[in-house]
Amino acid sequence: MAEYFTLLVGAVLINNFVLTKFLGLCIFFGISKNLSASVGMGMAVTSVMTMSSILAWIVYFFVLAPFHLEFLTTIVFVVLTASFVQLLELVIKKQAPALYNMWGIYLLLIATNCIVLAVPILNVENEYSLLKSIVFAIGSGVGFALALILMASLREKLQYADVPKPLEGIGIAFILAGMLSLAFLGFSGMM
């Protein structure tokens, strides 16, 4: 039990995917202008990542590993996650139109994103069990959502600040992310 807890806390805070591993930065800087969009995106990424991790784990340990096709991991996983997201989009559009209106547009953005691809790859590289993979995926997703929401709140405040002209837009966003990352660095001594 303690093992899973360590893994979860590690993925959320200590090895936060956005702020210490620089994954998912495109979404991070693109979406964090708006707080409500950030909440939606965080939820969408967490759920997609968890489901695609399970799928990728099954494919890797039941197809790729027995046939010694490990060198195909990159190709298989990218096609798998991209097509899975497209499929999910179709299903949600048909079955739950209300949900689709809420976060359908985010799904398209996640289809080929480094964070969604990175988690399944890390899972098989570290040879996690299925349960561990799920915990790790959820932790990573929550960490991503946490960073995104914190950043969005900061950027909303930033609209009232007097930012030097050249730094406006992406420049100040980076510096802000640097400060956040500095704060998250404080968690690294926790374990």
Partner 1 sequence: MGELWQIFKKGILEENPIFILALSLCPALAVTTTVINALTMGLTVTFVITSNNVVVSLIRNFVNPKVRVPVYITSIATIVTVAQLVLQAYFPILYKAMGIYLALVVVFAIILARAEVFASKHGVVKSFCDGFGMGCGFTAAMLVIGVIREITGGGTILGIPLFGEDFSPMLMMILPPGAFILIGYLVAGTKQWLKKIEEARIKREAEA
Q: Is 114 in the site for partner 1 (CB under 8 A)?
A: yes
**Could you say which DSSP state residue 161 is in?**
S
Alpha carbon distances (Å) from 17 to 89, 104, 160: 24, 23, 29
Among 113, 123, 133, 140, binds partner 1 (CB under 8 A): 113
> x/- string (CB under 8 A) for partner 1, residues 46-75?
-------------------------xxxxx
Q: What is the C-alpha to C-alpha distance for residues 160 and 157, in angstroms, rounded to an integer?
A: 6
- The residue (of 97 and 178) whose beta carbon lies closer to partner 1 is 178
- Minimum CB separation of residue 23 from partner 1 in Å reads 6
Q: Provide DSSP, 15-64.
A: T-TTTTT-TTHHHHHHHTT-HHHHHHHHHHHHHHHHHHHHHHHHHIIIII
- The residue (of 93 and 102) whose beta carbon lies closer to partner 1 is 93
Residue 144 burial class via C-beta count within 10 angstroms: exposed 0-12, middle 13-18, buried 19 and up: buried
- The residue (of 84 and 102) whose beta carbon lies closer to partner 1 is 84
| Binding footprint of partner 1 on the chain (CB under 8 A) | 19-26, 29, 71-75, 78-79, 82-83, 112-114, 117-118, 121-122, 125, 164, 166-167, 170-175, 177-179, 181-182, 185
